[in-house]
Amino acid sequence: MQKAKGIDAESIHIPTPQSPLPNPYLWLTLALSLFAVAPFAQPGYFWGANDARHHVYFLFEFNRVFADGMWWPRWSPDFAFGYGYPFFNIYGPFSHFLAEGLLLSGFSYTGAIEAVFGLSVVASAAAMFLFVRDWVGDRVGNRAGLIAALVYTYMPYHLLVLYVRGNLAESMAFVWLPLALWSFRRAVLGQAGWRPAWGWVMGGAVSYAGLMLTSNLVIVLFTPLLAAYILLLMVQKSRAKKSDFLQKSDFWAIPRSALSPALAGLWGLGLSAIFWLPMVLERKYVRVDQWFDGRYDFRDDFLSFFQLFSPRWGFGVSQAGPGDPIGFQIGVMPTVLAILGLLLVWRMRHALRWEAALLALAGTVAAFLGLQMAAPLWDLPIIGGILQSAQFPWR
């Protein structure tokens, strides 16, 4: 374990970087995650998911425009009854860039989409393993990372995204979330004085840009959590100093700690500006209201409390009310493991307690916001606008 200058290593854990490749726990994580991908091998199974076939259509349009020499496709000429629609101007294209690469390598349209789904599962498991292993530390990090990665992979909502909803963008977003938390955490804690931790700044920039290019919906919901997490880390780092950070000598402790994450965030926005800048500037010219009213009215998709733990598992389209055939459960086992994990972390380093508490609070708040009792919050001026961007409360 490395002890950073001026930091109490028992309060904030900064382990020595290790190569992940020869780690047997990582290979075990990857192997066990493959079982979540296995159903894609069954003939016809893929087409039963809600949006699965849509992604094949999206890839067809993406490839058509790409083949015409437009290497950053925005327009889908066959959509809207042949009038065309700027689909990739408002929908993150990263997943379809990956699928396009596989298509050009000889995969079929369906095979390319299935392969990207599979890649997202395995990569998200690896990302969560690396984040938790680094976060917990050297002694039990590998085992904690393995357990966290498997829970992350097999939690009911993740499987729902894969096999009931068939949402490729959300499935790929599972890869970037732990990578962003890991990179920004390291960027804050690894900064020495005013000298940024450039390697982790770059990692944070790439992960944030990757999430933006993958799902502009998820990044709107994730950014407030990331900002709160960074702020907590900065406060913890400043309080880990031997002297009171409010004294004149440490006045710049928090602003100094903000340098690396700020650079990472701005760099990430710059890397992804090719997507989000036209989306913001040209949004007024696109009919996006059709995705938020009628069938997509958020008021019809709130959950009751028992649905969070109901073992029901169904297919089809979600319906209003507690009789919804789709199972939007958090799951009893993931909840129990999360509580046990929180209790174990609470017995460890002081700093990890508050990080774990923040992440647990975020999960609790997210579950609450999907319930019918939270409906008034969705109509508030600012918070409501952010929440309504989720389209469905159960997201």
Given a contact cutoff of 8 angstroms between Cβ atoms, the answer to whether 75 and 271 are in contact is: no
Chain-wide mean pLDDT for the chain?
83
- The Cα–Cα gap between 93 and 285 comes to 19
Q: For residue range 188-201, what is the model confidence (pLDDT) as tens digits?
A: 988 877 788 888 99
Q: Which residues partner with 76 through β-bridges? A: 85
- The letter for the amino acid at 362 is A
SS3 246: coil
Q: Check residue 165 and give its pLDDT.
A: 85
Return the pLDDT at 5.
Answer: 40
Two tokens, residue 233:
């880390």
Q: How many CB atoms lie within 10 A of CB 39?
A: 13
Q: What are phi and psi of 64, to 5 degrees?
A: -60, -45
Choice between 136 and 303, residue whose per-residue pLDDT is larger:
136
Where in the chain are the domains? 37-286, 295-395
pLDDT for the residue 303: 77
Task: Summarize pLDDT for 257-288 with one digit per residue, the tens.
Answer: 888 999 999 999 999 999 999 998 988 888 77
Rounded CA-CA distance 339/355 in Å is 14
What confidence tier does 16 reach under pLDDT thresholds 50, 70, 90?
Answer: low
